[in-house]
Amino acid sequence: MALMTLDAVCTFYGNIQALRNISLSVEEGEIVTLIGANGAGKTTTLMSICGITPVRSGRVLLDGTDITNIAPHRLVEMGVSQVPEGRRIFPQLTVTENLDMGAFLRKDKDGIRQDLEEVFSLFPRLAERRHQAGGTLSGGEQQMLAISRALMARPRILLLDEPSLGLAPLIVQHIFEIIKKINQERKTTIFLVEQNANMALKIAHKGYVLQNGSIKLEDTGERLLANEEVRKAYLGL
């Protein structure tokens, strides 16, 4: 059984249909990516999973349990954490305080301290700036903080929305290396929504191509990288 499944999900903004019978699955331990052009419905897919944009029909399943339109805080309790597009850290709070917010629902103080040291090990730059206000960090550092804040909830599945957005190429490379490391070393399942198809497919076990609110292609990351249609439309080749 897949860790997360979307089964014929349809989502609307008023009378405008944004998602059309989206069906996909994320197996435990995988990195699965959803690629597509701007406006294809990638962020809407994540918002539908999280219950922020209500699903009109279809189902979202976590380990076989129907979580369709469940409250976002309940999802976090069940092991689903999202890193939103644009990072959305708390700019007035310090790095450490932002990370504490990620562990807000947890009561295990020893585990929280352990995870705090782990994310500082994962992102040494954050350790150096632990007392610095989040809003004073660079864009890349804020993305590191947003990912770390989500990890502080100890998720079973991490939802990442455009982690490369607005970042310099070298920082993007580093962020994707860290995403792969989180998957391999922390055994965290990852569902990655990303416009940088080349970077996403290189680290993904499986990928889906979204076009105008519908899934058009599904294959391994490696095969999609070699697919002529994908190369022309999304890789600029």
Q: Are residues 146 and 234 in the same domain?
A: no
Which of 18-22, 144-148, 164-168, 222-226 is predicted with the least confidence, judged by mean pLDDT? 164-168
Tokens linked to 128: 């150096």
Res. 236: pLDDT tops 70: no
Report the chain's mean pLDDT, rounded to a whole number.
92
Domain membership flag for residue 196: yes
Give the domain range for residue 20. 1-79+156-237
Encode pLDDT of 125-137 as tens digits. Answer: 999 999 999 989 9
Residue of higher predicted confidence among 237 and 8: 8
Whether 227 contacts 212, CB under 8 Å: no
144 & 164 share domain: no
Asked, for residue 58, whether it belongs to a domain, the answer is yes
| Residue 152 to residue 129: CA distance in whole angstroms | 17
Q: Are 4 and 49 in contact (CB under 8 A)?
A: yes
Same domain membership, residue 166 and residue 52: yes
**3 state SS of 88:** coil
Token look-up 């976590």 returns 62
Last residue of a domain, one of 131, 154, 177: 154
Same domain for 40 and 5:
yes
pLDDT band at residue 237 using 50, 70 and 90 as cut-offs: low
| Distance between CA atoms of residues 226 and 231, nearest Å | 7
Which pLDDT score is estimated for 85? 83
Q: Is residue 84 part of a domain?
A: no
Query: Are 177 and 212 found together in one domain?
Result: yes
What's the CATH code of the domain at 44? Answer: 3.40.50.300
Q: How many residues does the chain have?
A: 237
